[in-house]
Chain A
Amino acid sequence: MPELIDAPDLGGLPDLKIQAGQIPNDLEPWDQRDPDNLQIFIKVPGVLSMLVENGKSITYAPEKGVPEDEIRLFLLGSGLGALLMQRGFLVVHGNAVVPKGRYDALLCVGESGAGKSTTAIAMLQRGHQILADDVAPIDAHGFVHPGMARAKLWQKTADKLGIDTTRLARIRAQDDKFNLPLGAAHATTPTRLSAIFCLSPDPNHKGKPKVEEVTGVAKFVTLRNNLYRPEQLRIMRLEAGLLGRLTALADQTPVYRVSRSLDGFEIDALLDALLDTNEATRHG
């Protein structure tokens, strides 16, 4: 899979199995299952069904005639996301960037269209590294773990940033969205989270982006609202167990709301604002 990086050979048994196979259709209703046996059944109509178990295996059954890239998209999205939750990661929907010369990661979150992806790719153009694109797993020590070795690139983002997509592969045939291989621009070691930025397009905002620190319980709310597929956490009954982790991470991490105008999207000013604020956290 081109999205993945090679792991060092540790010998012994594989850590994770992703295999095509039969999915039993007589699974117990989720609320009657053994809580120590973490399972989730995910069905993507018209694409595939998956059974993700105990943070160790994903068994999938594709529907007929579905192309491989489309299957991969869901295996590595919802499937791997659920598996990481089973392993105890807080999985955040956002983009993590390691600024040049720093050993920590800033994380951009926000609704679809908030500019997470554009921000991450513009960072990459400035020579910073992308640690995780779209799905950012955070461990119990507050370290963000590396994601896929690619960033998802929309054609309209590419146009804005002057990137030629003619040589890039589409993520799936029907979308104007491309796989941008990260290569050396991929940070591949777990990195301490330094700050969270919630990108907030605001119709009333004019001019340069404005950064405001979020305080108190609102920090928790920001983090909670930007978890990756929280319904999966709920189905696996992992949400309550993660509450302490969520509050601790929200408590120890500076969180900022970044308001920006809808038109214009002053990307250079936005990047400067994020990097300057992140730099200041080092001394904070």
Chain B
Amino acid sequence: MTEYETRFARNEKVVAADMGGETVMMDVDKGVYLSLNATGTQIWEALAKPASLPEITQKVREAFDVSAAGDLDAQVSKFVSDLKENGLITEVK
């Protein structure tokens, strides 16, 4: 399986709520809060159902004017790996 086929899913123990276009999240088990900016929120939205990196990138591309955003693939990939490191999402086999 290549990196592009791996799908990611939200950790069910994380609850999230909208706060004026940003997202506040809480890891229920750890009792830890995190917040996401507007782009992070869009990526989180794209993960409402398990999704792969190309699928997430496509959704972000649709939501924002990303013409000046540089390498969007790399940015999404970095952000998704941050989410994973923080236990907010998991890889789906």
Contact = CB atoms under 8 A, between A and B. Distances in A.
B5 interface: no
Contacts of A243: 15-17, 24, 26
B63 interface: no
A143 interface: no
B73 interface: no
Contact-size category for A? 10 to 19
Nearest to B16: A243
Nearest to B19: A247
Given A217-B35, A234-B31, A246 B17 contact: yes
Contact of B18 (A216, A219, A247): A247
B19 A217 contact: yes
30 contacts: A216-B19, A216-B20, A216-B22, A217-B22, A217-B24, A217-B35, A219-B19, A220-B19, A220-B35, A221-B33, A224-B33, A234-B31, A239-B28, A239-B31, A240-B15, A240-B26, A240-B28, A243-B15, A243-B16, A243-B17, A243-B24, A243-B26, A244-B15, A244-B17, A246-B24, A247-B19, A250-B19, A251-B18, A251-B19, A251-B20
Given A240-B15, A248-B17, A251-B20, 12 more contacts: A216-B20, A216-B22, A217-B22, A217-B24, A220-B19, A224-B33, A239-B28, A240-B26, A240-B28, A243-B16, A243-B26, A247-B18
Interface string A205-243: 000000000001101110010000000001000011001
Interface of B: 15-20, 22, 24, 26, 28, 31, 33, 35
Nearest to A248: B17
Helix, strand, loop or mixed for chain B's interface?
strand
A246 B28 CA distance: 15
Interface in A246-269: 246-248, 250-251
Nearest to B13: A240
A251 B19 CA distance: 6
Contacts of A219: 19
Interface in A181-209: none
A251 B16 CA distance: 14
Contacts of B15: 240, 243-244
Contacts of A244: 15, 17
